[in-house]
Amino acid sequence: MMRWIWAWYLAVAISLPAEVDLRALEAAVIDVTEKAEETIVAIMADELGSTGSGVVVSAAGLVLTAGHVVTDVEGSGAAVEEVTVLFEDGEERRAKVLGVNRQRDMAMLKLIGEGPWAFSAPGNSAVLRPGDWVVALGHPMGYDPLRPAPVRFGRVISKNQDFFFSSDCVLFGGDSGGPLFDLEGRVVGIHSWIGEDVQTNTHAGISGALKDWDDLKAGERWGTLMPPPSLQEGDAVLGVMYDQNQEAVVLDMVLADSPAEDAGLRAGDVILRVDKFRISGANFGTYLRQKRAGDEIVLEVRRGREELFVRVELGAVANLPFVTERGKRVLDEQAGELFTAAGAITAPLGNGVLRIFGDEEQIAYGTVWEGNLVLTKWSVVEKAKNLRGVSSLGEEFSLAVKEIYAGHDLAVLMIPEEVRLQPIPVRVGAREAGEFILAPRPDGVAEALGVISVAERSLLQKDRGFLGVVLDELHQGPGARVQLVQKDSAARQAGMKPGDVVLKVDGREIDGYQELKTILSRAGAGQAVSIEVLRGEQEVSLDAILKGWNLPKMRPGRRERMMDRMDERGLSQVRDGFPRVLQTDMTVLPSEVGLPVVDLNGQLVGVLIARAGRVKTYVIPSSALIELLGKE
């Protein structure tokens, strides 16, 4: 069994551009998102009761996902034989599980049915360097019929052992098995696991899958799924990769900017001894874990026919996961370049933002709206006394509640007439996933930068189309079999009966119960739909007018709540049930609600209304604000 030697082999490097071109990055992210949309799938391992994500990587219908998505991790350790696959448009298919390399947390599936299939081509994770820009897609918290796979943007943080690497694209349960793309739209990683910090998001490198491709395709299953590692700031780091199952320590990779590279070590070198002790793949890490950052070791190395002695001073892990101190400095420099570019956009906008105080403490921000109005989060200011605002120039003044839109958790406050602030120009029109957005503070600094993860949508249950049937989840198709028709439902009014098999909705063939739920939910409440059912041996046509969902929204499960609590920033108390929102991957504090959100032209996209989870922050879009408040 391979052991993880997390304490010593990690390193980072990056060559920084002279400046960050936000518009070019935005265009690339949008392009990647649009091209990948048809290839992202949700995976449901019914036998395990688990969900995950995946990506189609060949026209023949090969799908890559994480090994643990299709493995009985808490039981036998065996993989299931088949899973249900859901595409973004709701299409439901079955897939056969082929091979699984548990050690690399990689699995290959084969879609059942005729191709060719839309696919995303594999790239090369071996050439990635920390600081490279990447795009993550997947289904956090599982498949949602009203939400495509949310987009998240970030960069490679570190290269780890056995083809694993980390990024700051924030992931969540349900994302496992989803793809990480480079800016050319190539799959470079498969989401594997997360850590407590939002920057600890680890991916199984695609190069590991390519190395195992033939074995995975042939249905081989091997290896042991290892638990996530833990690192402490200051742990020692050397910066090499090797196979711990082998007797000889043959270096597969020497990581850039690592102590190993500085000392002249190369891929292919064979380490014979360390500090005169003979070592093997099994005990090399054990020896090094006893060392501290700054310690010097002497390696006896065979390179071809030559034997060398190499002195290496071990580096240290920084307070970012798996990153050396040198790497952290480089990543910090890159972040500085990024926010300098953002600041050029947000600097003129500070007079359109103010700080809001209640009981002498800052409790939120406010976005200035025309007519001397300020928009902020109602549940935050509701019980506050002595509401006051402070402008970008430090001017202090009283605030009074003018109007409340409780469904949006939005408060409209009045500014005294003598105070003159400058509203941010409002952008009108639809926004698309992948667009860059910024949250400026009163001092003109960008508090956060992110992308629109999901375009505008409603979070209200009543807006979902609801037929009013209970479906047989074990029915393998074609169609979806009705077990129960609810009283006073759209289905009952249309004449649907238990035992009916729904074959088509508005002419679209249905392949399973999840596809039917998706199509009906997206149709929306009040929508008329034509339904074809098989009743016995006879096909029957029915017309139904969908109702809204009348079921309470399910409370987040224990696992979901645990992952959300990992983020020390905390969550907003009111964070769901909004009638219209944009979802973004910006990580903000709950106290930063009320900040304006702008695009790269400095135009108002909306108002930040809730920190809702590890991977989601909600924004009331400007289109909704215009409808509520009007605009001159």
Q: Is the pLDDT of residue 231 over 60?
A: no
Specify whether the CB–CB gap between 498 and 482 falls below 8 A.
yes
Q: Give 142's strand partners.
A: none
Q: Is the pLDDT of residue 14 over 50?
A: no
Task: Print burial letters for 129-140: b (CB count within 10 Å at least 16), e (below 16).
Answer: bbbbbbbbbbbb
The phi and psi torsions of 108 (rounded to 5 degrees) equal: -120, 135
- Give the pLDDT score at 572: 93
Mean pLDDT in residue range 430-437: 94
- Give the pLDDT score at 565: 62
- Give the pLDDT score at 163: 85
Q: Is the pLDDT of residue 228 over 60?
A: no
- Give the pLDDT score at 12: 29
The answer to whether the pTM exceeds 0.75 is yes
Taking CA atoms, 349 is separated from 80, 106, 425, 609, in Å, by: 54, 46, 9, 19
Q: Where in the chain is the domain with CATH 2.30.42.10?
A: 243-316, 465-548
Which CATH class name applies to 348-414?
Answer: mainly beta
What's the Rg (C-alpha) of the chain?
Answer: 27
Q: Where in the chain is the domain with CATH 2.40.10.10?
A: 348-414, 436-459+553-629
Q: Is the pLDDT of residue 4 over 50?
A: no
Please give the Cα distance from 576 to 197 (Å, whole number): 23
- Give the pLDDT score at 564: 61
**The token pair that represents 436 in the structure block:** 């860059």
219-233, 463-477, 613-627: which has the minimum mean pLDDT?
A: 219-233
- Give the pLDDT score at 474: 86
Among residues of the chain, what percentage have pLDDT more than 90?
69
Among residues of the chain, what percentage have pLDDT more than 70?
90
- pLDDT tens per residue, range 74-111: 778 889 999 999 999 999 999 999 999 998 999 999 99
Mean pLDDT in residue range 345-354: 96
The type of residue at 418 is: E
- pLDDT tens per residue, range 561-570: 666 666 667 8
| Mean pLDDT of all residues belonging to the chain | 88
Mean pLDDT in residue range 226-251: 72
Which CATH class name applies to 436-459+553-629?
Answer: mainly beta
- Give the pLDDT score at 213: 97
Q: Residue holding tokens 């490279």?
A: 132
Specify whether the CB–CB gap between 167 and 154 falls below 8 A.
yes
Please give the Cα distance from 435 to 603 (Å, whole number): 13
**The token pair that represents 341 in the structure block:** 């570019």
**The token pair that represents 120 in the structure block:** 């995303």
Mean pLDDT in residue range 424-435: 92
Q: Is the pLDDT of residue 13 over 60?
A: no
Give the DSSP H/E element, type plus range, for residue 562.
helix 558-565
Q: If you write DSSP's letter for every residue of 540-607 in order, what string do you get?
A: EEEEEEPEEP-SPPPPPPHHHHHHHHT-TT---SS-S--SSEEEE-----GGGTT-EEE-TTS-EEEE
Taking CA atoms, 75 is separated from 48, 79, 80, in Å, by: 10, 10, 12
Please give the Cα distance from 599 to 452 (Å, whole number): 10
Mean pLDDT in residue range 337-365: 94
Q: HSE-up of 268 (CA within 13 Å, CB side)?
A: 5
- Give the pLDDT score at 3: 21
**The token pair that represents 201 in the structure block:** 């998001």
- Give the pLDDT score at 212: 95
**SS3 per residue for 435-502:** CEEEEECCCCCEEEEEEEEEEEECCCHHHCEECCEEECCCCCCCCEEEEEECCCCHHHHHCCCCCCEE
Architecture of domain 22-222: Beta Barrel (2.40)
**479 confidence band (pLDDT: 50, 70, 90):** very high
Q: Where in the chain is the domain with CATH 2.40.10.120?
A: 22-222
Please give the Cα distance from 165 to 198 (Å, whole number): 15
Please give the Cα distance from 229 to 215 (Å, whole number): 27
Specify whether the CB–CB gap between 301 and 260 falls below 8 A.
no
3-class SS of residue 300 = strand
Specify whether the CB–CB gap between 600 and 559 falls below 8 A.
no
Taking CA atoms, 198 is separated from 169, 214, 436, in Å, by: 8, 35, 19
Specify whether the CB–CB gap between 592 and 610 falls below 8 A.
no
Strand spans (E) along 304-352: 306-313, 315-316
Mean pLDDT in residue range 449-462: 95
- pLDDT tens per residue, range 22-72: 999 999 999 999 999 999 999 999 888 889 999 999 999 999 999 999 998
| CATH tag, 243-316 | 2.30.42.10
Helix 22-36 and helix 325-346: axis angle, to 10°? 100
> Could you tell me which of 80, 65, 8, 37 has the C-alpha nearest to residue 324?
8
**15 confidence band (pLDDT: 50, 70, 90):** very low
Q: Is the pLDDT of residue 184 over 60?
A: yes
Q: Is the pLDDT of residue 355 over 60?
A: yes
Q: What angle do CA 217, 220, 222 make, to 5 degrees?
A: 135
The phi and psi torsions of 466 (rounded to 5 degrees) equal: -135, 120
Please give the Cα distance from 502 to 478 (Å, whole number): 9
Specify whether the CB–CB gap between 279 and 251 falls below 8 A.
no
- Give the pLDDT score at 233: 57
Q: Is the pLDDT of residue 227 over 80?
A: no
**631 confidence band (pLDDT: 50, 70, 90):** low
- Give the pLDDT score at 236: 80
- pLDDT tens per residue, range 318-347: 544 456 666 677 788 888 999 899 999 999
Q: HSE-up of 601 (CA within 13 Å, CB side)?
A: 8
Taking CA atoms, 352 is separated from 17, 21, 349, 390, in Å, by: 32, 25, 6, 11
What one-character DSSP code corresponds to residue 182? -
What one-character DSSP code corresponds to residue 52? E
> Could you tell me which of 427, 463, 425, 448 has the C-alpha nearest to residue 591?
448
- pLDDT tens per residue, range 438-452: 999 999 999 999 999
Please give the Cα distance from 250 to 267 (Å, whole number): 8
Specify whether the CB–CB gap between 76 and 116 falls below 8 A.
no
**557 confidence band (pLDDT: 50, 70, 90):** low
Specify whether the CB–CB gap between 151 and 137 falls below 8 A.
yes
Mean pLDDT in residue range 104-122: 95
Cis peptide, bond prior to residue 478, ω within 30 of zero: yes
Please give the Cα distance from 556 to 561 (Å, whole number): 6
- pLDDT tens per residue, range 374-405: 999 999 999 998 999 999 999 999 999 999 99
- Give the pLDDT score at 2: 23
- Give the pLDDT score at 503: 97
Please give the Cα distance from 149 to 142 (Å, whole number): 10
> Could you tell me which of 431, 361, 429, 369 has the C-alpha nearest to residue 403?
369
| CATH tag, 465-548 | 2.30.42.10
Task: Print burial letters for 85-106: b (CB count within 10 Å at least 16), e (below 16).
Answer: bbbbebbbbbbebbbbbbbbbb
Specify whether the CB–CB gap between 492 and 482 falls below 8 A.
no
Mean pLDDT in residue range 421-435: 93
- Give the pLDDT score at 425: 95
Q: Give 82's strand partners.
A: 96
**198 confidence band (pLDDT: 50, 70, 90):** confident
Q: Is the pLDDT of residue 583 over 90?
A: yes
Mean pLDDT in residue range 131-156: 94
3-class SS of residue 22 = helix
Mean pLDDT in residue range 267-293: 89
Instruction: Count other Cβ atoms within 10 Å, centred on residue 230.
Output: 12
